[in-house]
Amino acid sequence: MNEEQRLQAGLATEDAPSGKTTEKDYSKYFESVYSAPSLKDAKKRGKKEVEYHDNFQIEQRFKGMGQGRKFYIRTYGCQMNEHDTEVMAGIFMALGYEATDTVKDADVILLNTCAIRENAENKVFGELGHLKPLKLERPDLLIGVCGCMSQEESVVNKILKTYDQVDMIFGTHNIHRLPHILHEAYMSKEMVIEVWSKEGDVIENLPKVRHGKIKAWVNIMYGCDKFCTYCIVPYTRGKERSRRPEDIIQEVRQLAAEGYKEITLLGQNVNAYGKDFDDITYRLGDLMDDLRKIDIPRIRFTTSHPRDFDDHLIEVLAKGGNLVDHIHLPVQSGSSDMLKIMARKYTRESYLELVNKIRTAIPTASLTTDIIVGFPNETDEQFEETMSLYREVGFDMAFTYIYSAREGTPAAKMQDNVPMEVKKERLQRLNKLVNDMSAEAMKPYKGQVVKVLVEGESKKNPDVLAGYTEKSKLVNFRAPRSVIGEIVEVRIKEAKTWSLDGEFIGVVKEEKVMS
């Protein structure tokens, strides 16, 4: 009996071990029925062409599965995960489930996890611990783990051993299989595990329930082939594969028609967009040039890799219009030696050259970055080079991290002679610089008028509205709630380290995008 026939027959498993399971029991189980993650397969980058599928549909037998049931998804990590959550919510709704934002009311709880650093993983294990009493109270509750952590062999083994409150684990390439996985979980007494480590395809027509009506995420590519030595992403997200331009353009047009004001194009390394096409020459610059003609006020992208940031893209970004002048350009370190060991494939000098090119073409550009401190064997001098690069570029903001060893990555095997104390002290010094320079970058705004896309109430004070400028500066101001979702003008009265306070002037009249 193949898997499909088995599912048709409503059978959960063919030869699942019964009773209390052990890791050993499961290894046989995986081979016969399920797929567990494999680091070896995740490393592979074959020549196989990406397959595009646009025939996703909810099978008749699954329709109504969610009748009278509620789902809750907790999302950890990056925007890619946030967007995956929107897709999973879309699938749940298509199955007839209702959304809830209260764990206690949920019949299915999913943790959409992040594997980028150890503390991200610890949060998830902590949360699983918190969910255990709920599962004991309500054995029919389904608890699932998905996202990047589920792609890791070691995580799946740990869950199998110690977290028997988990009913299902599925991977980042298995999201479209959610109806089947839920079905299995309802039918089976055992933990359902479906994690494909294969390189991955592109599935086009998955349903989505977007979070909000103002800003939207649009995937332009999946995966990463860069294999920076510290990073788990190439193993958890598979090989680089780009969506076809016509599908992306169509999605952005549709979002514009629905009234969205801002689009963020997503990919682990958006500058590699189009590299995998073998029938057309079409890269991120070409895509941005096409998208800027769509009548939507703001278009951003994240995340960039300096290595693939080409001249054509800079030329197109310089045309402005709805292409915002904020570029997030992770540098990771200011030391060429460190960059080499990180396998970033650029140097301090070439990064600075790129910054110079961007600034020459787009003088108003605001640059932000990501930095890792305490990479194995980073010396004081090398850390100082990061500090000096930060000053030299004059970044507006940075996300800063202490290096975290990720099992399976090359860096995890490196000897590390930097004590944690030293790493923490470096992080503190860097953060002080980041704060000081952010405060400096904010000062000139005082007295200026900025355009703000109003997102809603400020987190701290419901009487105040908040939104972001094109350069991603947070602005707080008082105005009628009717301007939520609009682009408004605000005169800045006070510049703080991370935000601006201002006075509402009025709604910006329709600005036509250049064609």
Annotated binding site: 78, 114, 148, 224, 228, 231
Distance (Å, whole) CA 10 – CA 4? 10
Which tokens is 214 given?
């103002």
Q: Report the partner that residue 116 touches, choosing among ligand SF4, ligand 5AD, none (CB closer than 5 to 8 A by kind).
A: ligand 5AD
Residue 226 is a binding residue for ligand SF4 (CB under 6 A): yes
Which lies closer to ligand SF4 via its Cβ, residue 135 or residue 226?
226
Q: Report the partner that residue 227 touches, choosing among ligand SF4, ligand 5AD, none (CB closer than 5 to 8 A by kind).
A: ligand SF4
Q: Which of residues 40-79 bind ligand SF4 (CB under 6 A)?
A: none
Stretch that binds ligand SF4, among 85-93, 227-235, 439-447, 479-487 (CB under 6 A): 227-235
Run of H or E including 348: helix 348-361
DSSP state of 35: B
Q: How far is CA 27 from the centre of its chain?
A: 31
Q: Report the partner that residue 401 touches, choosing among ligand SF4, ligand 5AD, none (CB closer than 5 to 8 A by kind).
A: ligand 5AD
Residue 224 is a binding residue for ligand SF4 (CB under 6 A): yes
Query: What torsion do the CA atoms of 304, 87, 114, 109 make, to the nearest 10 degrees?
Result: 170
**What's the order of all strands across the beta sheet hosting 326-328?**
326-328, 366-373, 397-402
Stretch that binds ligand SF4, among 198-206, 229-237, 316-324, 361-369 (CB under 6 A): 229-237
Spatial neighbors of 175 by CB under 8 A, at least 6 apart, are 84, 87, 88, 91, 146, 206
**What's the order of all strands across the beta sheet hosting 168-170?**
98-99, 70-75, 108-113, 142-147, 168-170, 192-194
DSSP state of 36: -
Stretch that binds ligand SF4, among 93-101, 228-236, 282-290, 505-513 (CB under 6 A): 228-236
Positions touching ligand 5AD (CB under 6 A) are: 116-117, 230-231, 330, 332, 370, 372, 401, 403-404, 406
Q: Report the partner that residue 406 touches, choosing among ligand 5AD, ligand SF4, none (CB closer than 5 to 8 A by kind).
A: ligand 5AD
Q: Report the partner that residue 504 touches, choosing among ligand 5AD, ligand SF4, none (CB closer than 5 to 8 A by kind).
A: none
AA identity, residue 169? I
For residue 376, give the nearest of 434, 410, 415 by alpha carbon. 415
Residue 233 is a binding residue for ligand SF4 (CB under 6 A): yes
Which lies closer to ligand 5AD via its Cβ, residue 361 or residue 405?
405
Beta-carbon count within 10 A of 321 CB: 17
Spell out the SS3 assignment of 320-343: CCCECCEEECCCECCCHHHHHHCC
Give the residue numbers of the binding site for [4Fe-4S] cluster. 78, 114, 148, 224, 228, 231
The site that binds ligand SF4 (CB under 6 A) totals a number of residues, namely: 10
What is the smallest separation between the CB atom of 307 and ligand SF4, expressed in angstroms? 8
Q: Report how many helices (DSSP H) and strands (DSSP E) the chain contains, helices first.
A: 15, 21
Which lies closer to ligand SF4 via its Cβ, residue 75 or residue 269?
269
What is the smallest separation between the CB atom of 268 and ligand SF4, expressed in angstroms? 4
What is the smallest separation between the CB atom of 476 and ligand 5AD, expressed in angstroms? 27
- Near ligand SF4 by CB under 6 A: residue from 215, 239, 305, 406: 305
Are 464 and 480 in contact by the 8 Å Cβ rule? The answer is no
For residue 288, give the nearest of 305, 303, 300, 276 by alpha carbon. 300
Burial class of residue 294 in the structure, from the number of CB atoms within 10 Å of its CB (0-12 exposed, 13-18 middle, 19+ buried): middle
Q: Report the partner that residue 404 touches, choosing among ligand SF4, ligand 5AD, none (CB closer than 5 to 8 A by kind).
A: ligand 5AD
Q: Report the partner that residue 283 touches, choosing among ligand SF4, ligand 5AD, none (CB closer than 5 to 8 A by kind).
A: none
What is the smallest separation between the CB atom of 233 and ligand SF4, expressed in angstroms? 4
Q: Which residue is nearest to ligand 5AD (CB)?
A: 370
Spatial neighbors of 191 by CB under 8 A, at least 6 apart, are 21, 159, 160, 164, 166, 167, 168, 169
Q: Which of residues 157-186 bind ligand SF4 (CB under 6 A)?
A: none
Q: Report the partner that residue 226 touches, choosing among ligand 5AD, ligand SF4, none (CB closer than 5 to 8 A by kind).
A: ligand SF4
- Interface contacts to ligand SF4, rule CB under 6 A: 224, 226-228, 231, 233-234, 268-269, 305
